[in-house]
Structure 1
């Protein structure tokens, strides 16, 4: 009882200073678009698809694959509510332009997962599963046409791995996708992250398999590669599924945390649309492991940047999930200082 009283006293003493270290709740945004993407999205909604098409062409030309995945994902999510710009782009571009096909494929995947929701399988109705699989089936042809019309874009293969997960494709199918993706970009983070998820206990593998794959890739990857953060994704998935004690027994968390903090130390903070994802996973993992002081420090460093992964695990609105856990971590950390 006295320990709880002392924690409360420490919380009351420290809460104002800790709150001042965080950006206000109203300043937090979910999935802030990378530089140049917000104006393109605004123009698309207003009926002009050219800026979005130009931006995607630039990411392809520069082989800026992280930016390309980010842009495709945000444009696809926007199209769930306002697809007219994409319809117009496809009409103007014609059937042989792979760029709108890639966005259309991502839109199909987003639409499918909206039907399925983020609930566990046992909590998803038969009607939801039927709509989920039907939408994935409808997306198959679009993805195939995107693949057939380009041989130097890894994005259709990244999306193909997400598609394969939904359809529970056998390993020989999605392993072929990984091989095709790595021929274009051997260290494509988004594609390898999608492949890792297929090998987690939540889907078709195990915690041990996910660790082996993630640490194996990280050991081979260049020092500045985002792939070096994959082991922390494996730890996070393990912690969400089975809790801190099981993660501690596995004995892989410290190395994974070190790999991610090492990558973050040399990452360009101006690339917030990339950095916030990994710092968010770090904050969430430290929170799940009960390391609230360290998690709080990562929330301070995150500033206003909430991202769908990982905060969408706990709320339909990732911003809501971010704020909820930031508040809980702040209370815990303030009571321990």
Structure 2
């Protein structure tokens, strides 16, 4: 899998981060003004291993800039989840939880500083929405963080994805809340918005929470297929849709939901757009160690069905 999703700027950012070249990271990030693009590109470098070992040099060199503090805070969110690991709470050691919370506190301190110093920022505020789950903040605080983002950019894709997760039954919400959030956001979004992805994401979360047997039956339903197609028609299949950096995640969500609902022709349409740009989310729900395996298996079925 390509963590940059084939994006040349994201690839350059990761390469600069890996060689600890903060000047190159700065020069690549400074020109980015679109809030969605900015969050995606900050994520690209923040997810590089070892950022915490060199980011202090950038902060010391440019103390007036919020950008290095933002990268440090965003990286600390990824760094925290790395410490926790991917297991369930019952499978996670107390030492892991302790380090998880320590790193999340560092993340929030940095992100809060950026938000205080830059009233127009959306990226730090988006990462605070992500951190809300790990820090187990209450519902009012999580909503406040999300509102801080959408007050500045109403259709912020990553902020919506992260708030959907907070409202999932497996975190701090319920299936009803999750679907209400997804459907309301999609209904309000402009035609062609990538937020249509929230609908397949919600259905996959519901599927994931069901026992074996009931899960397949849930997706194999005419009403589910109809809602997935309606969401695609107003987003990724709408003439006004434009693929922005990070677009592959949106199409992979639709592809998996269509495939597992039995609508293989609609799935094939998404696989044609995706090419080989498989993303961990949501295919990791089928195979956490190798998300590419279910992706290729379902793509083969979908293409065969299309003929």
Query: Which bracket does the TM-score occupy, shorter chain normalised?
Result: 0.7 to 0.9
* Contact 2:168/2:177, CA 8 A, preserved across alignment: yes
* Contact 1:33/1:74, CA 8 A, preserved across alignment: no
Who wins on radius of gyration, i.e. which is larger? 1
d(CA) in 1 for partners of 2:117 and 2:206? 38
User: Residue 41 of structure 2: which of 44, 54, 71 is its match?
Assistant: 71
Cα separation, partners in 2 of 1:91 and 1:316, compared to 1, 3 Å: farther
- Which stretch has the larger CA shift, 244-253 or 160-169? 244-253
d(CA) in 2 for partners of 1:246 and 1:36? 40
Partner of 1:56: 29
Partner of 2:92: 124
* Contact 1:232/1:256, CA 8 A, preserved across alignment: yes
The answer to whether residue 275 in structure 2 is matched with residue 275 in structure 1 is no
Structure ranking higher on relative contact order (CA contacts 8 Å, 6+ apart): 1
- Say what the alpha-carbon RMSD is for the aligned residues: 2.6
| Equivalent pairs, count | 301
* Contact 1:235/1:253, CA 8 A, preserved across alignment: no
User: Residue 81 of structure 1: which of 43, 50, 63 is its match?
Assistant: 50
Equivalent residues in 2 for 1:1-337, closer than 5 Å: 29-32=2-5, 34-59=7-32, 62=33, 64-78=34-48, 80-94=49-63, 96-242=64-210, 243-247=215-219, 251-265=223-237, 266=239, 267-269=241-243, 271=244, 273-315=245-287, 320-330=290-300, 334=304
TM-score by length of 1: 0.79
Bigger fraction of residues in helix:
1
d(CA) in 2 for partners of 1:221 and 1:336? 31
d(CA) in 2 for partners of 1:327 and 1:160? 36
* Contact 1:29/1:304, CA 8 A, preserved across alignment: no
TM-score by length of 2: 0.86
d(CA) in 1 for partners of 2:124 and 2:19? 27
SS in 2 for 1:195: helix
